[in-house]
Structure 1
């Protein structure tokens, strides 16, 4: 290995380490201040770098937030793929993919806050710029794609499959919001059972509709 290659690898490793430290610091700042209250200067201070050093890696706080959210969505996709490993039945795939989505955000509530921009600022429309929003929306859709694919494999049309995916997404996030805020306790119910029942009901509905068409 040449000296130049060794030096390049060392620089790359150092840059990756710095980037990781910046992202960890940014996560803390966003959790405390929200997207609107955060700044690159605050992130730099927590990370132990100068603002100029941050600009080498990110051109804005929106770019940092997008990187964190992108990483979270990658993790969601990996967890879903892991749950679906060796499952071949479309019905089981749909149910498993829906529950994998639910379980990921159940176990990582701050990632749910990250995805819905709930840090400090509360619920309202937010974005990171048209290009970043489009990229992150595609990542979210990729994470939910196994649900859509399983619905189609069960016999749903493209439009119905999208509607089913949206229904499961809305049901899961609603239950998670109630669970993470403790509001679900007033009903004396178990959110996981409710999510599982909803996924089962939708799966059976598709199967029944498809069987009627076949006959």
Structure 2
């Protein structure tokens, strides 16, 4: 009985993986708005009814893909900060791990910013999915806030530091991703390093966001 249950679970897991792989290809081709469960089912080799057994909507599928991407991102950031206990180094390590993950995985950047044929427009997957995914994203950035507080920032300043890093990294990643960075004959990563080093120096002096 247990062996039969184990086989069923393994088959179900395999089907979910095949559906997710197919869905990612469809999202890359058609975007979230252009994709349909029918197209995803056809790509995976299943009927639309078979997809409903695993996922209630295309938004649920997209949320699953994005959640897996964010889990990989969090693993990368956690591994980077685990190598040191010094706040300055942890802040720098967390920032650059975040940046490097998306620099090395541009399709995950597309996924996270809903850039699959959708452009830079507001998107959402429904309140429940959005809240869960936003919390997961914030958790990956939390080591930055913790390091900032260890350097003397209060709670408000630490959250501003997180927003600062996220905004700066996002802008540089988009410039690198679209190759617009070449206009400035600059390295996106070097600019990111310079920004985080400047932020660390300001935090150490207690000057960051003091007048905001």
TM range (shorter): over 0.9
**What is the RMSD computed on CA atoms of the aligned residues?**
0.8
Residues 173-198 of structure 1 deviation map (CA, whole Å, 9 limit, x = unaligned): 10010011111101111111100010
Is the aligned partner of 1:194 residue 2:191?
yes
Q: What TM-score does the superposition give when structure 2 sets the normalisation length?
A: 0.96
Residues 44-71 of structure 1 deviation map (CA, whole Å, 9 limit, x = unaligned): 0000011111001000000000000000
Counterpart among 47, 51, 63 of residue 44 in structure 2: 47
For 1:62-81, list aligned pairs within 5 A: 62-81=59-78
Taking the aligned partners of 2:151 and 2:180, their CA distance within structure 1 comes to 35
For 1:129-148, list aligned pairs within 5 A: 129-148=126-145
What is the match of residue 95 of structure 2? 98
Residues 2-25 of structure 1 deviation map (CA, whole Å, 9 limit, x = unaligned): xx1000000000000000000000
Structure 2, unaligned runs of 5 or more: 208-212
Taking the aligned partners of 1:180 and 1:123, their CA distance within structure 2 comes to 13
What is the match of residue 204 of structure 2? 207
For 1:22-37, list aligned pairs within 5 A: 22-37=19-34
Q: Please state how far the C-alpha of 1:82 moved relative to its aligned partner.
A: 1.1
Taking the aligned partners of 1:48 and 1:22, their CA distance within structure 2 comes to 9
Is the aligned partner of 1:160 residue 2:157?
yes
Q: Please state how far the C-alpha of 1:86 moved relative to its aligned partner.
A: 2.6
Taking the aligned partners of 2:12 and 2:103, their CA distance within structure 1 comes to 33
Taking the aligned partners of 2:83 and 2:175, their CA distance within structure 1 comes to 32
SS of match in other structure, 1:152: helix
Q: What TM-score does the superposition give when structure 1 sets the normalisation length?
A: 0.95
Structure 1 window deviating more from structure 2 (80-89 vs 91-100): it is: 80-89
What is the match of residue 56 of structure 1? 53
Q: Please state how far the C-alpha of 1:154 moved relative to its aligned partner.
A: 0.9
SS of match in other structure, 1:70: helix
Counterpart among 3, 9, 13 of residue 6 in structure 2: 9
Question: 4+ residue runs of structure 1 moved beyond 4 angstroms?
Answer: none
Q: How many residues align?
A: 207
Counterpart among 113, 116, 134 of residue 116 in structure 1: 113
